[in-house]
Amino acid sequence: MLAKLLNNKDTMLVIVFSLVVLAAPLLLAPLGAGYPDLMQRFAIFGIFAIGFNILFGLTGYLSFGHAAFLGVGSYSAVWMFKLLSVNIVPAILLSVLISGLFALVIGYVSLKRSGIYFSILTLAFAQMSFNLAYSVLTPITNGETGLQLALDDPRVLDGASTEGVLPSPQLFGLEMNDTAQVPFLGMELQFNVGFYICALILIAAFFISLRIFRSSFGMMLRAVKSNQTRLNYTGINTKPYTLAAFVISGMYAGLAGGLMASMDPLAGAERMQWTASGEVVLMTIMGGAGSLLGPVLGAAIIKYFENIFSRINDNVIEAWFTFLPDWLGDILVTLISPFVGKGWHLSLGLIFMLVVIFLPGGLVEGAQRVSRWTVRSVKRLQHSEPGSSKSLEPGETH
């Protein structure tokens, strides 16, 4: 039974994925990224990108307004903290629910068009939400200051806090910012409650996305991307399929927004800006749209660049080259410095261009090519046998 389960490629994929995610503090510490705040962001944006990929990767509908759902999720969660309880469970449930409803309305209207017009409609809705959050909706969003916890919040279930300290979000007593620090091989590993909650949800989100990819529903979504005309003349009403994909991905975004607010109980309108929507598009394309692992990989790389690469300044680079003669070190520092620190966007942009031009299937395709090349080389060494052409089981994506 266990052997059969382990033979299944998908089960293996989920197991390996879970192990890697759960071991993140250990794996990321050598890269300088093993601190809770960043690891939480990896997981949260991973969830956001997985959800976005269900819409964009499968159906090919490119939404430029998904940050709106992220923002709505965050606001809902913070309101739940304020009104009901600082327990994250009701907050996250409400985030998913509200953003799902939001996605239903926006999706229903936007999906009346396809292609660039769909993208523009979603962008317009998101910018509208962003601007409303700053103006008319200030009573709900608290405008520019952003929505945050206050001492006089009702918090019906917890009872109003009287100690004069703001409570922090928790899961039945486990506070999100609790961190156990473990020294290991000269590094300080940080095991953080918030990160592990995000990680478990990320694993669940990944599993759900895998099931969607492998279902007949997922196949219909891929058919929408492949040939919508054929699908219509095959007796399939494409509207509800695309709308369902839109709502599911909106709920993923809301979940990510709710988690974001759970890690740091603050919601601001800038979370809904178009740049945030663009970011998730970049993540998905960079990692590999339509692939299972791609979006998570893309999210991790972009967040890594944003947080780690951007901190490398001239002094850090100089420290790398102290073993070289001064003049050579100076040249290298001059060459490298435009690409790091404040120039991290430049390197990210270059990588993005390279990926789009040479690896249209994203970094996942790159990894697949390398592994296929390795397998082929090994085979060629063993016996000179021609490789069979690629064949796929139904529901399997490449």
Partner 1 sequence: MSILEVQGVNKRFGGLAALDDVNLSVRENTIHAIIGPNGAGKSTLLNCLVGKLIPDSGTVTFGGRSLIGLKPYEINQLGVSRVFQTPEVFSDLTILENLMIPALASRDGAFKLSPFKYLGKEADIRYQSERILEDVGLIDQRHLLASSMSRGNKRRLEMAMCLVQSPKLLLLDEPTAGMSRADTNNTIELLRTISEAHNITFVVIEHDMHVVFSLADRISVLSQGHVIVEDDPQNIKGHPKVQEAYLGTVESEG
Buried b (16+ CB within 10 A) or exposed e, 6-39: eeeeeeeebeebbeebbebbeebbeeebbbbebb
β-strands 170-171, 174-175 pairing: antiparallel
* Least distance from partner 1 to the Cβ atom of residue 121, Å: 22
Do 47 and 118 touch, CB atoms closer than 8 A? no
Beta bridge mates, 182: 189
* Least distance from partner 1 to the Cβ atom of residue 279, Å: 26
* Least distance from partner 1 to the Cβ atom of residue 231, Å: 7
Nearer to partner 1 by Cβ, of 124 and 236: the residue is 236
Give the 3-state secondary structure of residue 225.
helix
The pair of structure tokens assigned to 249 is 């991905």
Nearer to partner 1 by Cβ, of 207 and 339: the residue is 207
Angle value at C-alpha 51, between 105 and 68, nearest 5 degrees: 45
Nearer to partner 1 by Cβ, of 257 and 290: the residue is 290
Nearer to partner 1 by Cβ, of 111 and 272: the residue is 111
Nearer to partner 1 by Cβ, of 113 and 225: the residue is 225
The pair of structure tokens assigned to 246 is 């839109």
* Least distance from partner 1 to the Cβ atom of residue 359, Å: 17
Nearer to partner 1 by Cβ, of 42 and 213: the residue is 213
The pair of structure tokens assigned to 200 is 């478990």
In residues, how long is the chain?
398
* Least distance from partner 1 to the Cβ atom of residue 224, Å: 10
Task: Provide DSSP, 150-189.
Answer: -TT---TTT----SSS----EETTEETT-EEEEEETTEEE
Nearest-angstrom CA–CA distance, 176 and 168? 7
Interface positions with partner 1 (CB under 8 A): 208, 211-212, 214-220, 222-223, 225-227, 229-238, 240-241, 244, 248, 389-395
Nearest-angstrom CA–CA distance, 227 and 193? 45
The residue type found at 298 is G
* Least distance from partner 1 to the Cβ atom of residue 397, Å: 9
Nearer to partner 1 by Cβ, of 11 and 374: the residue is 11
* Least distance from partner 1 to the Cβ atom of residue 122, Å: 22
